[in-house]
Amino acid sequence: MNTPLEEVEKALHIEDVDRSFLLRVVQPGLIGLMDGSISTLAPLFAAAYATGNPHVAFLIGTSAAVGAAISMAFAEALSDTGEHTGRGHPFVRGGIVGAMTFVGGILHTLPFLISNLAAALYLAYLVVGLELVAIAYIRYRYFKMSFWLSVVQVVFGGALVFTAGLLIGSA
């Protein structure tokens, strides 16, 4: 039987493991997913609206996803050593951020492999919606944020970037 002090120490260890997982994996992954899902919207949809060509939109969306992934990976890997913050090895964090940035950017780009622009756009809208709900869920699940407030915040940010792409692509 454990003493109360042992129970507290055991609970603290579990909390430290969870905190470490949050700092080393979940938070970098969420940053990447958010950046990839949001930052690639404007160039992707601007290209789709400006050219009316799904293939061109696909190429630009893919280049935006790859460029954002490389940029975010380097930014995270060079931000701190992880020694003082407990955030883990910078190359591992950079890899997680880069990979998740690519995933966030490429998922709503893939529908533009469809040759019909209208169908590609509708499918991309659906994928973006699912990405935003996934981001809100991760914030809710791991960071104890209100799910609906998180949805509103994430959708608002996504709507701003999407609107920028729409306005620029329609100019």
Distant-in-sequence, close-in-space partners of 103: CB < 8 Å, separation ≥ 6: 32, 33, 36
* pLDDT digits (tens), the chain, 171 positions: 666 655 555 555 545 558 888 888 999 999 999 999 988 999 999 999 999 999 999 999 999 999 999 999 999 999 888 777 778 888 999 999 999 999 999 999 999 999 999 999 999 999 999 999 999 999 998 888 899 999 999 889 888 988 888 888 887
Element (H, E) at 58: helix 54-77
For residues 155 and 128, the answer to whether their CB atoms sit within 8 Å is no
pLDDT tens readout for residues 116-163:
999 999 999 999 999 999 999 999 988 888 999 999 998 898 889 888
Instruction: Give me the pLDDT at residue 17, please.
Output: 54
For residues 76 and 97, the answer to whether their CB atoms sit within 8 Å is yes
This prediction has a pTM of 0.84
